[in-house]
C-alpha cells in the first residue's frame, strides 16, 4: 500500500498584529493575564487592507510550490477549506488557481477544484479527500494542494473577539511524503450541535461556553472511536499531540481529559494511585452526579502531578508555540499546531523520524476527528524551510484605533476607506472589484 501524507507545508500570516495583553485588554478594562494565562494568547494576526482569504492562501501556496520546484501540471487537485468564504457558488480555489497562473508557467485546467465547509474541521477533511483520491489511484502521479485559509473575525464586543486571527496554511498531499504519513485509521465524534454558526452572515453567532463543552464531548467520542480501530492509546505512543487550537487554553482543558482517558488501566494510573487515588469508576457511586464530582476532583489532582506535567510539556505545549502569537485560524488551526510542534522539536534537537503524532481536529456544529501521523525522514529539512518567525516578527503592530479601522475594512457591512498599513512585496494583493462583483487580484513585484 502506497504511503500517502503531507509532503510539505507552508504558512502565510496576516501582516498586522494586535497585542492582546498590551493593547486589547486595557481597552476592554480587563486584566492582561486573562489573555496570556487564561486563554493562553499573546496576539492576533489580522489581514491588512489588501489581504483576504484568497491572497493569504495564494501566497502560502506560491511559496510552497516555489520551494518544492512544482509546476501547475504537478497538481491534480486544489481544495480550499474555509469558513470565511464570500461567494455561495464560485469556490475560492478558482481564485487561488487564477492567482497562481499569473506567476507560474502553465495552468491548472486539469486540476479538480473545490471548497470544503464544516467549520474548523474542514481543513483536515480536505486533507482526507486528497488522501482518498491518491489511495484510490485517481491522481495520475500528481499531488493535491490543500489550502486552509480564514479571516476569523467576530463582531466587535463578542467574547470571541479575543481569539481572532487570520492566516493560511498550504499543504501538499502526495505519495511518499517528506513530512508525515497519515494513518488509515480515523475516529469521529459528530453530532447536530448549535454552538457556533453563521447563517448567511459574516460574523458568527457563538455560544462560547457551550462550544468549549461541545469540543470536549465530541473529541472524547472521536478518541473512543479511534481506539476502537487503532487500539488503546498509551501516553508514550505519541511524541506530539497537535489539536485544534481556537486558543491554547482550550487545548489545556482538553489535554488533561485526554491524559486521564489514556492512562486509565495502565501502569501510570497504578503509579499515581498512592498520591491521588485511582480514577473513580461509575459502579462505585449511587448517582451519576456523585460520579462526575469524583471525576472532577480526581482530574484536579491529576493536573498537578509530575507525570501529567511532564507529558503536557513534552507532547502538548510545543504545539502551541505559533498559535499563541496568531490566534485562531479556524480551518488552519490544527495544521498550525502540527507545524508549531514540529518546529519546536527541530529547534530543540528532538529526533522524530518514525515517531507518531496524534492529531485531533474539531469543527463546531459539530465534529471531531482523530488520526495518527508518522513523521518521515525528510521532516527536518521541510520544517527548516518555514519562515514563520520572520513573518511573525515582520508584522505591523496596531493601536486599538487602528484595529477598529481594520476590523471595519474587513466587515462586509461597512464601507471603510483606510490606507494600507504595510507595503506589499512579492505577493498577491486584492485589486478591487470586477463588473460581476468578482474580486480581482494581482501579483506585486
Ligand atoms: N488571570 C488568569 N486567568 C484568567 C484571568 C486572570 N486575570 N481572568 C480570566 N482568566 C481565565 C478564566 O478563568 C478562563 O479560564 P477557565 O475557562 O479555565 O476558567 C479563561 O481565562 C477565559 O476567561 P472567561 O471569563 O471564560 O472568558 P470569556 O467569557 O471572555 O470567554 C470564550 C471565553 C472561549 C468563551 C470566548 O473567547 C469565546 O466565545 N470564543 C469563541 C469560541 C471558541 O473559541 N470556542 C472554543 C471551541 S471551538
- The reply to whether 99 belongs to the active site is no
CA 333 to chain centre: 1
Instruction: State if residue 258 touches ligand 1 by the CB under 6 angstroms criterion.
Output: no
Interval between CA 325 and ligand 1 midpoint (Å): 17
Give the pLDDT mean for 315-322.
Answer: 98
Cell of 135: 489511495
CA distance linking residue 246 with residue 166, whole number of Å: 12
**pTM score above 0.95:** yes
CA distance linking residue 261 with residue 255, whole number of Å: 10
Query: Tell me, what's the pLDDT at 307?
Result: 97
CA distances for 332 relative to 91, 168, 174, 224, angstroms: 17, 6, 19, 24
Give the pLDDT mean for 154-170.
Answer: 97
Query: Tell me, what's the pLDDT at 48?
Result: 98
Q: Which of 17, 51, 99, 120 is catalytic?
A: 120
Ligand 1 nearest atom to the CA of residue 120, by list position: 48
Query: Tell me, what's the pLDDT at 288?
Result: 94
Give the pLDDT mean for 60-80.
Answer: 98
Dihedral angle of Cα 229, 232, 233, 235, to the nearest 10 degrees: -170
CA distance linking residue 215 with residue 361, whole number of Å: 10
- The reply to whether 244 belongs to the active site is yes
* Phi/psi at 360 (5° precision): -120, 115
Q: Are 246 and 214 in contact (CB under 8 A)?
A: no
Query: Tell me, what's the pLDDT at 125?
Result: 98
CA distance linking residue 178 with residue 408, whole number of Å: 41
Interval between CA 38 and ligand 1 midpoint (Å): 6
Looking up cell 498550525 gives: 336
12: DSSP letter:
E
Mean pLDDT taken over the chain: 97
Ligand 1 nearest atom to the CA of residue 215, by list position: 47
Query: Tell me, what's the pLDDT at 251?
Result: 98
Interval between CA 25 and ligand 1 midpoint (Å): 13
Instruction: State if residue 248 touches ligand 1 by the CB under 6 angstroms criterion.
Output: no
Instruction: State if residue 160 touches ligand 1 by the CB under 6 angstroms criterion.
Output: yes
Cell of 46: 489580522
Sorted by sequence, the CB contacts under 8 Å of residue 387 that are 6+ apart come out as none
Tell me the pLDDT band of 198, cut-offs 50, 70 and 90.
Answer: very high
CA distance linking residue 390 with residue 10, whole number of Å: 13
Express each pLDDT in 373-403 by its tens digit: 999 999 999 999 999 999 999 999 999 999 9
Interval between CA 39 and ligand 1 midpoint (Å): 6
Tell me the pLDDT band of 2, cut-offs 50, 70 and 90.
Answer: confident
Ligand 1 nearest atom to the CA of residue 208, by list position: 39
Q: Nearest-5° angle of CA 120, CA 122, CA 126?
A: 150
Express each pLDDT in 278-295 by its tens digit: 999 999 999 999 999 999
Cell of 86: 464570500
CA distance linking residue 178 with residue 431, whole number of Å: 36
* Phi/psi at 429 (5° precision): -130, 155
Interval between CA 243 and ligand 1 midpoint (Å): 18
CA distance linking residue 389 with residue 371, whole number of Å: 28
> What share of the chain has pLDDT > 70, as a percent?
100
Domains (range + CATH), the chain: 4-444 (3.40.47.10)
Interval between CA 21 and ligand 1 midpoint (Å): 14
Residue 1 has pLDDT above 90, yes or no: no
Mutate to test the pocket of ligand 1, among 20, 39, 245, 253 (most ligand atoms within 8 A of CB): 39
- The reply to whether 120 belongs to the active site is yes
CA distance linking residue 134 with residue 113, whole number of Å: 15
Ligand 1 nearest atom to the CA of residue 247, by list position: 44
Instruction: State if residue 212 touches ligand 1 by the CB under 6 angstroms criterion.
Output: yes
Express each pLDDT in 111-140 by its tens digit: 999 999 999 999 999 999 999 999 999 999
Interval between CA 94 and ligand 1 midpoint (Å): 38
Instruction: State if residue 340 touches ligand 1 by the CB under 6 angstroms criterion.
Output: no
Express each pLDDT in 362-380 by its tens digit: 999 999 999 999 999 999 9
- Ligand 1: residue whose CA is nearest its atom 6: 34
Query: Tell me, what's the pLDDT at 90?
Result: 97
DSSP result, 87-102: -SSS-HHHHHHHHHHH
Q: Are 60 and 71 in contact (CB under 8 A)?
A: no
Tell me the pLDDT band of 274, cut-offs 50, 70 and 90.
Answer: very high
Express each pLDDT in 244-272 by its tens digit: 999 999 999 999 999 999 999 999 999 99
Residue 223 has pLDDT above 80, yes or no: yes
Nearest-CA neighbor of 307 among 251, 255, 385, 352?
Answer: 255
Instruction: State if residue 204 touches ligand 1 by the CB under 6 angstroms criterion.
Output: no
- Ligand 1: residue whose CA is nearest its atom 46: 212
Amino acid at each position: 500500500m502506497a504511503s500517502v501524507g503531507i509532503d510539505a507545508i507552508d504558512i502565510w500570516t496576516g501582516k498586522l498584529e494586535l497585542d492582546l495583553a498590551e493593547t486589547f485588554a486595557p481597552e476592554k478594562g480587563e486584566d492582561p493575564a486573562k489573555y496570556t494565562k487564561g486563554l493562553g494568547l499573546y496576539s492576533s494576526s489580522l489581514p491588512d487592507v489588501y489581504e483576504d482569504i484568497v491572497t493569504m492562501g495564494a501566497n502560502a501556496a506560491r511559496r510552497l510550490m516555489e520551494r518544492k520546484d512544482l509546476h501547475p501540471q504537478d497538481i491534480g487537485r486544489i481544495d480550499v477549506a474555509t469558513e470565511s468564504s464570500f461567494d455561495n457558488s464560485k469556490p475560492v480555489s478558482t481564485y487561488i488557481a487564477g492567482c497562481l497562473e499569473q506567476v507560474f508557467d502553465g495552468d491548472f485546467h486539469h486540476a479538480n477544484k473545490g471548497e470544503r465547509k464544516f467549520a474548523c474541521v474542514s481543513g483536515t477533511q480536505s486533507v482526507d479527500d486528497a488522501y482518498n483520491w491518491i489511495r484510490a489511484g485517481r491522481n495520475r502521479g500528481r499531488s493535491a494542494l490543500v489550502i486552509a485559509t480564514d479571516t476569523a473575525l467576530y463582531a466587535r464586543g463578542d467574547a470571541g473577539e479575543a481569539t481572532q486571527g487570520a492566516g493560511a496554511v498550504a499543504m501538499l498531499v502526495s505519495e511518499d511524503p517528506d513530512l508525515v504519513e497519515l494513518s488509515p485509521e480515523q475516529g469521529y465524534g459528530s453530532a447536530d450541535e448549535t454552538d457556533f454558526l453563521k447563517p448567511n452572515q459574516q460574523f458568527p453567532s457563538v455560544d462560547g461556553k457551550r462550544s468549549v463543552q461541545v469540543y470536549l464531548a465530541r473529541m472524547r467520542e472521536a478518541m473512543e472511536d479511534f481506539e476502537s480501530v487503532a487500539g488503546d492509546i498509551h501516553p508514550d505512543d505519541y511524541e506530539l499531540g497537535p489539536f485544534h487550537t481556537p486558543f491554547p487554553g482550550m487545548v489545556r482543558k482538553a489535554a488533561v481529559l485526554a491524559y486521564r482517558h489514556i492512562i486509565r488501566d495502565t501502569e501510570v494510573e497504578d503509579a499515581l494511585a498512592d498520591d491521588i487515588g485511582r480514577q473513580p469508576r461509575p459502579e462505585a457511586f449511587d448517582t451519576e452526579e456523585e460520579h462526575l464530582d469524583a471525576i472532577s476532583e480526581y482530574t484536579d489532582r491529576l493536573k498537578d502531578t509530575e507525570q501529567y506535567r511532564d507529558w503536557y510539556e513534552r507532547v502538548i505545549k510545543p504545539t502551541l508555540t505559533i498559535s499563541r502569537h496568531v490566534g485562531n485560524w479556524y480551518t488552519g488551526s490544527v495544521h498550525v499546531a502540527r507545524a508549531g510542534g514540529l518546529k519546536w522539536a527541530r529547534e530543540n534537537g528532538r529526533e522524530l523520524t518514525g515517531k507518531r503524532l496524534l492529531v485531533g481536529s474539531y469543527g463546531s456544529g459539530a465534529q471531531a476527528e482523530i488520526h495518527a501521523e508518522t513523521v518521515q525522514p525528510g521532516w527536518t529539512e521541510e520544517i527548516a524551510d518555514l519562515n514563520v518567525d520572520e513573518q511573525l516578527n515582520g508584522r505591523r503592530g496596531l493601536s486599538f484605533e487602528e484595529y477598529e479601522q481594520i476590523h471595519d475594512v474587513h466587515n462586509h457591512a461597512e464601507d471603510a476607506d483606510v490606507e494600507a498599513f504595510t507595503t506589499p512585496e512579492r505577493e498577491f494583493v486584492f485589486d478591487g472589484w470586477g463588473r460581476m462583483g468578482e474580486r480581482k487580484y494581482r501579483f506585486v513585484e
